Chains A and B, each alone.
Chain A
Amino acid sequence: MTDVLSPAPPTRASEPVLSMSGVSKRFGAVQALTDVDFAVHEGEVVALVGDNGAGKSTLVKVIAGVHQSDAGTIRFDGRQVSVSSPTEAQKLGIATVFQDLALCDNLDVVANLSLGQENVRGVFLDEVEMERQAWKLLRQLSAKIPSVRIPIAGLSGGQRQTVAIARSLIGDPKVIMLDEPTAALGVAQTAEVLNLVERLRENGHGVILISHNMADVQAVADRIVVLRLGRNAAEFKVADVTTEQLVAAITGASDNVVTQRRDRTAGSSTTSLDKGAPA
């Protein structure tokens, strides 16, 4: 474990820390991504939303180095890069917290946070140093974990997510991707995780948040990128978008239950944000 979280002030003016343009990915006969553009700045939370099969996961996996894109360029930190493997992505400074969290239930929080990078003192592991670093890490996130000496199996869903996010911060990544971090969490736990996302932004990380939950997205994101059928469908600043517009962009139809209802109540019509193929 190395020191993490150098609290750089969020600078938005310059180039994005991660940008992708014209990214395409094909699996056999399925065109999963077509000409997708995407960017995230330091100290910015970008939400990536879209229906099932919209290409969110594929895009995430391309960024994380799990898949390689067929076409398009990826720029990271000002230079063009090729992310050929997950290790490569980590080395660049792209950390991913996948939905399965990848924690060892049988090991305690300290062991999970230090896994693969254990401190050794003489012949034995340096438990004291690892515990100290674990507390430091969790305190920087203002994370609420009652004890770092209980196995992960004894933690709540939100606490597990917290540990997974804290773990992703080891090695001081510039970009952190969170895949559905609030799925299957309760109200309080969701709030806990969203606080954590705020904290990551304050610390100057670029955060990519993949979520199905519009309320969560609107609560913490700065920008929302909508994918549909593997293409950029829309992009919003969170301040000037309504849930209805988002749903419309995601489903690709101006005519859906949400808009119908609003039409009934307000009697107004919506503008189609459709840019891709008709659904």
Chain B
Amino acid sequence: MSTTQQPPGGLEVAEVEEAGPAVPANLADERLLQEKGFAGALTVFRRRIQGGDLGVLPVLIGIVAIAIVFYSQNPTFLSSRTLVNITLFAAPIGIIALGVVLVLLLGEIDLSVGSVSGLAASIMAVLSVYQGWPVWAALLIGMATGAAIGCVYGVLFAIVGVPSFVITLAGLLGFVGLQLVVLGPNGTINLPDSWFVEFVRFSFLSPLQSYLLVLLVVAVYAGGSAYGIQRRKAAQLSAPSMTGVIVRSVLLAIALGYLAYYLNIDRGIGYLPLLFVLLVVIMDLVLRKRRWGRHVFAVGGNVEAARRSGINVTAIRISVFALTGFFAALGGLLAAAQLTSVSQMSGAGDTNLTAIAAAVIGGTSLFGGRGSAYSALLGILVLQMIQSGLNLLLVDSSVRFIVTGAVLLLAVSIDSVARRARSSSGRG
């Protein structure tokens, strides 16, 4: 099943290097097991799973299981209409969860994302409806409020040294109160039609646009991978095979194409979920491929090491809290537009804990340094699917809370078991 290659030993490496790229530098160690071809790829995959490097596998299995369970109870669960609704309703809290992922990567927590989202929505509504501000200006102030609150958290945490749990717990309480003050005696503000409400509620890609987008995504993926392979080869490092890239690109094209087709049967891909996915992809690239993201992981992994490497730990912390506040506000504004109203209940209730649960269910560690932007996407999908499914079955919301709690517990348990497997197999 596997082919183990015997590259030359340590002494010969220097000669090899001068002679030419016979063995790539990163494969020169004779202890490294190497797998070739499709069977080899399977072996590597199996080894990773056994070693506790589960990645997104548990969440994907969870999504499939949820789909099967609800589909068996009510076939309309997998109808285009339900799925489009899931994408629409997942997006606002998903964006809040994206901010939570960032702060979790530092090993910190923001308990106030819900109330910050509600406060931002209230400010936006009061400015645009009562004060007659243009919608864009009101939105800008709303988002700036979130970012500013995040900045204050960051300063209190990074410079004053108050634990983030306490700061954001205080924020959670304080901003609920501030939201009541902002809304005034009326309590509920209905948002009139505007381009913003139109964007959130009724804007969808046309089928042609959606297929072009799928093509673009696949082309960027394939092109980027091919470029990476070519650069690695040029640097005399081992590179993944081109066949693998082609296979993955084709699979990606089929999956995305079918998804687009299926959603297009109903309203199609909404601008709102598109914005959410776009933000996730951007944050993923920033976290993995930009210096700032690398430093976020470093601070989350070992603050002292990060500081000694010359990383400005304070700046990283403040910027992360500011971004979390910004995403919370943005999510709150979008949620308000989705409901076309802002009330004392905006951002209250389960918004907070759903966003945090989504980040954790998606696979971001609570202890910092491990996770991905995609965990916000996957986690909120799981939770929104459960909510939509239970709504379809006309189950009371009490059941939803219990189920969500159970899923959260399950996700963290899987992560804990996987962490044990990781530490015993040396994957950290």
Q: Chain A residues in contact with chain B, CB under 8 A? A: 86-87, 100-107, 111-112, 115-118, 120, 123-125, 127-129, 131-132, 135, 139, 142, 144-155
Nearest neighbor of B370 in chain A, beta-carbon distance:
A106
Please tell me if the beta carbons of A104 and B305 are within 8 angstroms of each other in the complex.
Answer: yes
Please tell me if the beta carbons of B426 and A120 are within 8 angstroms of each other in the complex.
Answer: no
User: Which interface residue of A123, A147, A151 has the most chain B CB atoms within 10 A?
Assistant: A151
Please tell me if the beta carbons of A132 and B308 are within 8 angstroms of each other in the complex.
Answer: no
Asked if B252 is an interface residue, CB under 8 A from chain A, the answer is: no
Give complex CA distance A117, B302 in Å: 17
Please tell me if the beta carbons of B235 and A150 are within 8 angstroms of each other in the complex.
Answer: no
Give complex CA distance A99, B65 in Å: 48
Q: Closest Cβ of chain B: how far from A191's Cβ, in Å?
A: 14
Partner of A115, one of B290, B294, B300: B294
Please tell me if the beta carbons of B428 and A105 are within 8 angstroms of each other in the complex.
Answer: yes
Please tell me if the beta carbons of B428 and A115 are within 8 angstroms of each other in the complex.
Answer: no
Return chain A residues, CB-CB under 8 Å to B311: 115-116
Give complex CA distance A148, B25 in Å: 10
Please tell me if the beta carbons of A147 and B297 are within 8 angstroms of each other in the complex.
Answer: no
Return chain A residues, CB-CB under 8 Å to B186: none
Please tell me if the beta carbons of B301 and A107 are within 8 angstroms of each other in the complex.
Answer: yes
Question: Which residues of chain B in 292-324 are interfacial with respect to chain A, using CB atoms and an 8 Å cutoff?
Answer: 294, 297-298, 300-302, 304-306, 308-311
Please tell me if the beta carbons of B26 and A115 are within 8 angstroms of each other in the complex.
Answer: no
Return chain B residues, CB-CB under 8 Å to A87: 310
Q: Total contacts A to B, CB within 8 angstroms? A: 110
Please tell me if the beta carbons of B235 and A128 are within 8 angstroms of each other in the complex.
Answer: yes
Please tell me if the beta carbons of B306 and A144 are within 8 angstroms of each other in the complex.
Answer: no
Please tell me if the beta carbons of B290 and A154 are within 8 angstroms of each other in the complex.
Answer: no
Q: Chain B residues in contact with chain A, CB under 8 A? A: 10, 13-14, 25-26, 29, 31-32, 228, 231-232, 234-237, 285, 289-291, 294, 297-298, 300-302, 304-306, 308-311, 369-370, 422-423, 425-428
B interface, over-half SS: helix
Give complex CA distance A150, B48 in Å: 12
Please tell me if the beta carbons of A116 and B310 are within 8 angstroms of each other in the complex.
Answer: yes
Beyond A107-B369, A131-B26, 17 extra complex contacts between A and B, CB < 8 Å: A101-B305, A104-B305, A106-B370, A106-B428, A115-B311, A120-B291, A123-B290, A124-B289, A124-B290, A125-B294, A128-B232, A132-B237, A145-B29, A146-B29, A148-B26, A153-B423, A153-B428
Please tell me if the beta carbons of B428 and A125 are within 8 angstroms of each other in the complex.
Answer: no
Give complex CA distance A116, B297 in Å: 12
Given contacts A100-B304, A104-B369, contact A151 B298 (CB under 8 A): no
Q: Closest Cβ of chain B: how far from A166's Cβ, in Å?
A: 14
Give complex CA distance A200, B306 in Å: 25
Partner of A147, one of B32, B231, B309, B423: B32
Please tell me if the beta carbons of A107 and B289 are within 8 angstroms of each other in the complex.
Answer: no
Q: Closest Cβ of chain B: how far from A125's Cβ, in Å?
A: 5
User: Which interface residue of A87, A135, A147 has the most chain B CB atoms within 10 A?
Assistant: A135
User: Which interface residue of B234, B237, B370, B428 has the most chain A CB atoms within 10 A?
Assistant: B428
Give complex CA distance A135, B29 in Å: 11
Nearest neighbor of B299 in chain A, beta-carbon distance:
A104
Please tell me if the beta carbons of B10 and A146 are within 8 angstroms of each other in the complex.
Answer: no
Give complex CA distance A152, B298 in Å: 12
Return chain B residues, CB-CB under 8 Å to A117: 309-310
